[in-house]
Chains A and B, each alone.
Chain A
Amino acid sequence: MTAHIEQAPLVRRVFWRLAPTRLFADLISKSWMESVIPFVLFVGIFTYLYIANPAFGTIGNLQSISASFSEFAFPAIAVGLTLISGGIDLSVGAIFALVDFAVLFMIGVWGLPTWLAILLAIALGGVIGAINGFLIGFMKTRPVLTTLVALIIYRSIFNLITLNYSEELAVIYIEDPTWNFIATGRILGAPVSAATLVIFAVVAHVILRNTKLGWRVAAVGSSKKAARHAGINYPLVLFLTYCGAGMVTALGAIFYAARLGSVAGPTGQGLEIQALSAVVVGGISLAGGRGTVARAVLGAAIVFLIQNGLTNIGLPGYFTAGILGFVVILAVGADIRWEKNKGKAIEKTLVNPIVFSFASTPDTSPGSQSPLALNDRLKDAEGLAVGLIEGPEDVVVDRLGRIYTGERQGRIIRFSPPYFNEREVFARIGGRPLGLVFDKDENLIVCVAGMGLFQVDQQGKVEKLTDRTTRNWLSILDNSRLRMADDLDIAPDGKIYFSDATDRFDLHDWTYDSLEGRGNGRLCVYDPATKKTRTISHGLNFANGICLAHDGRSVFVAETWAARVRRYWLEGPKKGKLEVFLDNLAGVPDNINRASDGTYWMAFAGMRSPMYDISMRHPGVRLRMLKQLPRDEWLFPSMNHGCLVKFDESGRILESYWDKKAEKHPMLTSMREHKGYLYLGGLENNRIGRIQLPDADQNWTAHDSYWGKS
C-alpha cells in the first residue's frame, strides 16, 4: 500500500537477533554445564582464600595441602562411583582405616617388601569392597543399609585390631626409600599422591565416560530395570563397582599411611559424610546415572577448601561439619530443581523469532503489466492420480514417462502412463520423502526429512547415502545431524548438492521455523567418491529448492521464509561465493527446476500477505501468538494460494501460472518439465497436476539436459 517500509528500532532488532533466552537454553541443554556451577564455586573459594590469607598461595602450602587433598579425593571418587551406579558406599571411612592399618602392619611388623604390601593393601580394599558388592549386586540388598552395616562392622574390626596391636603399632618406624618416596617425594614439584591422583582421575574419567564398562555403570544407575532389559548383567556391574570403589579408597589410605606413618582410633572417621558431600556438591546426582570422575574431584576440592578455610579461621570441627551438611542440602536441592525444570526452561525458549523487514511486495494485481499479474492458467490443469496420493511434495519423471513421488507415509510411489491411475509402491524409506532427482545411472536420489539423503536403485533397493554433515562450530548445539533434508540436484562431477531446511525443527514443526524467520537452514554437498558430506553455508532462511544452472557452473538455492533465491558459484571468478540472486519475491519459494528453453521453473508454496509481512517485523507478537493461541489460529503466509513462475539466468521473472481460486493446486511446492508437459506437486495435495506446454521443446527431458542424449 505504501512504498515506505517502517523499520523496527535497531536495539530491538539486535535484541531479538541475539536471543539471550535461546543462548541460555542451548547452554543448559549441554551436560557439561552441570560442572560449570561447581567449577565457578571452586574458583571463587580458591580466590577468596588466596586473597584473605597470603600464606595460602605459597608453593609450600599448596604442596602440603595438595597431599592431604589427594588422600581425601580417592575415597570421594569411590563414593562418586557408587552414586553413579545408583547406590552409595558409606563404608569408605572404615575401609580407609582398615587399609591404613594393614599397609603399616605389613611393612612395619611383618616386614614385607613395600611394593608387595601396597599391592596386598589394594587387594584388601578390593576384597572388602567386593563383600559390599556381592551383597548389593548378587544378594540384592539395599546399598544404604548394607554399607551402613558394613561401616559398623569394619569399624569394630578396626577398633579391635588397633586395641590388640597397639604396642606393635606404637613403635613402627619404616626406613625404606620407596616408602619414603611415596610419603615425601615430588613428581614435577607435586607430591606423589597428587600426581597419582591426576593420572588416576584422567584414566578413570575416560573409562567411565568412554568405555562400555563405564556406560554400563551409568546405565545401571539410571534404571536397573532398563539396564537388565538391555541385556546388561547388572549384578556383575554392581559387584565390580563396589570392588573398584574399595580399591580406590585403598589408594587414598596408602598415601595417608605413608604420610602420617601411624594408626589412630579416629582414622577415617566421618570420611564417608565428607566424601558424600564432596560428590554431591560436585554435581553427581543422588538419583544415580549422572556424574563423572572430574565432578567428584571438583566437589572434593570444594569441600576440602571449605574445611581447610574454616579450620584456618579457627572454627571448631563440629561447626565445620554443620556447615558441610548445609552445603550438601543446598546442592541436593539445586540438583533436584535443575533436573525438574531444565526441560521446561528449554521448552519455553524453543522458538526465538527475529525482526525480519520485507520490502513492499511486487505488484501481482490482475491485469497489470507485471509478469506476476494474477491469472488462472492452472485452472484447467489435468489431475493425475487424484485421491491416490497424499502430499506429493516433489515429482520426477523417468525416461519412460513414469512419475515418481514421495508421500506422507514415507513411501516412494510410481504412476505409469498413459493413465497414471495405478498406484505402485516403488520403495519404502520412512521419514518424509521430499526432493527427488535421478542421477546419471538412473538411481533415484531422495531427500528424506528426518532421515537424510537416500538412494533408491531401479529395483527399488534403498540405501542411505548420508545423514550427517559438518557441524557449525559457532553453534552451541551439535547440529551435524541432518534435520530436514529438503531438495537436491546433482552436478556434472556427480556431487550432490542438497538443502537442510532447518536444523532446529522437525518437518511437522515447519511453522516454528517460519515464525522464527531466523535462518536455521543449510546448503550441503555430498561427494559420492569420498562418501563425505560438507556444509557449504549455514544460516539460510529455510533452505528449500535446489537447482543446478544449465551450464553446471552454479547452484540456485531457494530461501523460503526470506522470499529470496541465492546462487552458489561452483566455478568461475565467483567460485565459492553465495550471492543473492532474486530478492523480495512476491511469494515464498519452494522447488526450482530446469525448463526446456534454458530458463527455470520455480514454485511459490504460498504468497506473502500484507499482514504476514507486518507480523515478521514484530517478533514479540509472534512469540506471544505462539504461546497464547493454538496452532490452528496462528497467522501463516498465504499458503493456500501459490503460483509457478519462470525466471531466467539474469534474474528476470518472465511469466507466472496461477490457480486463482486455489481449487486444484493450493500450496504448490514443485513442478517438473518433461516432454512438453509440466507436472505439479503439492505438499498437502491429493493429486499430481499436469499442464501442457505447447511452446516448449516436446522432446526435452531432464535426464538429457543433465547427462546428455543417450
Chain B
Amino acid sequence: MGIFSRLLEFAGIQKAEYDFIPSLEGPWAPNNMLEAATELFIPSSSPDMVAVEGDGDLLVTAGKELYRVAAGIPSLVRAFPGTLTTVFPDSDGSLWLGCEGHGLLQVDRVGTEIQRKTEVASVQLSCITSLVRHHDGTLLIAMGSRQNGAEDWIHDLMGRARSGCIVALSTSGERVIATGLGWPSGLALDHQGNVCVALAWNHCLQRYGLNGRLLDRPIPNLPGYPAHVSRASDGHHWMALFGMRTQLIDFILREDEFRADMMRNVDPRYWIRPTLLAEDSYMEPLQGGSIKKLGITKAWAPPRSYGLVVELDENFLPLRSFHSRVGGRHHGITSAVRSGNQLLAVAKGPGILLSIELEGK
C-alpha cells in the first residue's frame, strides 16, 4: 500500500478495502463430524491424496508411496523416486501421477511405468497438483506454482507468488489454458464440460471454458485455502480445505516489509501462517482469541490449523460441511472423495485417512 493511499485512508477519504473473510454460517456452519471420523489408515509417511478407482478401490498417495486400499485393507502399490503430489485413475485402468522432480507419469495398475511427460506446451511440469480427464479425451493438468515445489507451498503463499497454471494434453495437441493463478489446487469438470479450478491463494473457485476463457466464479470468496476437489457419482463435488484464512494472515500478506523480515529471520514452522496441524508450542505465534480462559481454549479461536470438507452441488454451490475445529486433531484436510456411502478424507496434518459414514441414498 502506497503512502498516498495510506494518507487518504487516515484522513477518512478513502476507506480501506480488504478481502473480508466470510464467516462460517449456513452450509459452512461448524460441527464436529470430521473430528469424530473413524481413523481408517495411517501410512508411514503423511498421506496427501485419496482417489477412487473404477472398481471402488481407494488409491492413497503418501510421500513417495502409492497405496491401494481394497475392502479396508491397505497395500503398498509401489514407491516412486519423487514425492507424489496427485493421482488420477484413468478410465482404461491406468493411473496418472504427479511425481515431484519427474513430471507426469502414467503407470499401470501395479505401478509399472507406461509413459512419462516432463513438458507440456513448452511448460516444464513440476508441482502438479491436480489431473482430470475431459469427455473429449483431453487431460487437464494443474500446476500449483512454477517457482516453488509442492512441498514449499508456504513459501509460495508468503512470497505472494501467482505463477500457477493449467495446461491441456490431448491427441490433437498441447496448450495452455490459464496462467498467473494463485496455486490452483484442484480441478473438476461440470456437466457442460467446463473446468472448475480451486485457487488456494485467491481462495475462490474459477470456471474456465476449454478454450481458456474465464467464465465465472462459482464461489468468489472462500473462508479457507482449498486443496483437491473430487467428483462423486451423483454429480456433486467434494472439496477439502487444508487451512483456514485468519485476519492476521491476510493482514501480514499486506505487510510486505514485515513479511520479508519474518521470512528472513524465523523458522517457517513458526511463521504467522496456516499450518496443517498446530504444534501447540509457545514458539508458534499466539492470537488474542486463542488465550486459554479458565483452562479452556475456545473452539472459535483464530485457527492455526483446521479440518474442513465441504460438499458442493453440480454448480459448485456449497451444500454442507464437515469440521474439525480448534483444539481438534483431524486437521489439514487435503483431499476428500465419496465412495458409495462413505466419505473418505485425508488429514495430512496428523497423517490419517479418515472415513465418515454418510446417510444412504
Contacts and interface: CB of A to CB of B under 8 A. Distances in A.
B287 A632 contact: yes
Interface string A642-669: 1000000000000000000111101100
Contact of A666 (B247, B255, B284, B295): B295
B285 A635 contact: yes
B246 interface: yes
A638 B283 contact: yes
Given A618-B257, A629-B248, A634 B288 contact: yes
Contacts of A612: 285-286
B1 to A, nearest CB: 9
A606 B286 CA distance: 10
Given A633-B248, A666-B295, A684-B293, A1 B267 contact: yes
B144 to A, nearest CB: 25
Nearest to A663: B295
A403 B305 CA distance: 40
Interface in B97-145: none
B277 to A, nearest CB: 15
B302 A610 contact: no
Nearest to B268: A1
B262 interface: yes
A44 to B, nearest CB: 28
Contacts of B280: 661-662
A147 interface: no
- Most chain A CB within a 10 A radius of its CB, from B262, B283, B297: B283
A122 B264 CA distance: 81
Contacts of A609: 270, 282-286
A564 interface: no
A368 interface: no
A167 B283 CA distance: 99
Interface string B246-290: 111001100101100110111100111000000011111111111
Interface residues of B, number: 38
Contacts of B293: 684
Given A628-B18, A633-B248, A635-B285, A614 B262 contact: yes
A621 B258 contact: yes
A210 interface: no
A459 interface: no
Nearest to B246: A633
B256 to A, nearest CB: 10
A638 B266 contact: no
Given A621-B258, A633-B288, A634-B287, A628 B16 contact: yes
Given A609-B284, A632-B288, A685 B294 contact: yes
A390 interface: yes
A666 B292 contact: yes
A610 B266 contact: yes
A1 B262 CA distance: 11
Nearest to B293: A684
B291 interface: yes
Contact of A628 (B251, B265, B270): B251
B178 interface: no
A635 B282 CA distance: 13
B301 A632 contact: yes
A373 to B, nearest CB: 13
Given A614-B261, A666-B292, A633 B287 contact: yes
Given A618-B258, A684-B291, A611 B285 contact: yes
A222 interface: no
| Interface residues of A, dominant DSSP | loop
A324 B287 CA distance: 58
A1 B265 contact: yes
Contacts of B257: 618
A687 B295 contact: yes
Contacts of B295: 663-664, 666, 685-687
A625 B251 contact: yes
A632 B251 contact: no
A641 interface: yes
A35 B251 CA distance: 42
A2 interface: yes
B84 to A, nearest CB: 31
B289 A639 contact: no
Contacts of A634: 248, 287-288
A640 B267 contact: no
A511 B288 contact: yes
Contacts, number: 122
A661 B261 CA distance: 29
A611 B247 contact: no
Given A618-B258, A635-B285, A635-B287, A610 B292 contact: no
A77 B149 CA distance: 80
Contacts of A606: 282, 286
Interface string A670-704: 00000000000000111100000000000000000
- Most chain B CB within a 10 A radius of its CB, from A6, A625, A667: A625
Interface in A451-484: none
Interface string A575-615: 00000000000000000000000000000001101111011
Contacts of B294: 390-391, 684-686
Contacts of A641: 281-282
Contacts of A625: 248, 251
A628 B294 CA distance: 28
Contact of A639 (B18, B267, B284, B286): B286
Contact of B283 (A6, A610, A630): A610
A637 interface: yes
A637 B290 CA distance: 11
A30 interface: no
Contacts of B283: 607, 609-610, 638
Contacts of A664: 295
B291 A635 contact: no
A631 interface: yes
- Most chain A CB within a 10 A radius of its CB, from B246, B267, B293, B294: B294
A664 B292 CA distance: 10
Given A1-B267, A624-B255, A640-B291, A618 B261 contact: yes
Contacts of B282: 606-607, 609, 638, 640-642
Contacts of B281: 641
A629 B302 CA distance: 12
A684 to B, nearest CB: 5
B286 A637 contact: yes
A420 interface: no
A618 B258 CA distance: 7
Given A632-B301, A633-B302, A638 B286 contact: yes
Nearest to A1: B267
Contact of A684 (B265, B271, B292): B292
A636 B288 CA distance: 6
- Most chain A CB within a 10 A radius of its CB, from B18, B295, B297: B295
Contacts of A607: 282-283
- Most chain A CB within a 10 A radius of its CB, from B16, B251, B301: B251
Given A629-B247, A640-B292, A635 B272 contact: yes
A640 B255 contact: no
Interface in B14-43: 16, 18
Nearest to B296: A686
A606 to B, nearest CB: 7
10 contacts: A2-B265, A610-B266, A617-B261, A618-B258, A629-B247, A631-B288, A633-B248, A635-B285, A636-B291, A684-B293
Interface of B: 16, 18, 246-248, 251-252, 255, 257-258, 261-262, 264-267, 270-272, 280-295, 297, 301-302
Interface of A: 1-2, 6, 390-391, 511, 606-607, 609-612, 614-615, 617-618, 621, 624-625, 628-642, 661-664, 666-667, 684-687
Kindly list the 5 A-B residue pairs having the minimum CB-CB distance in the complex, ordered from nearest. Answer: A632-B289, A641-B282, A638-B282, A611-B285, A607-B282
Given A6-B264, A639-B286, A662-B280, 10 more contacts: A1-B267, A610-B267, A632-B287, A635-B272, A635-B287, A641-B282, A664-B295, A666-B291, A684-B291, A686-B294
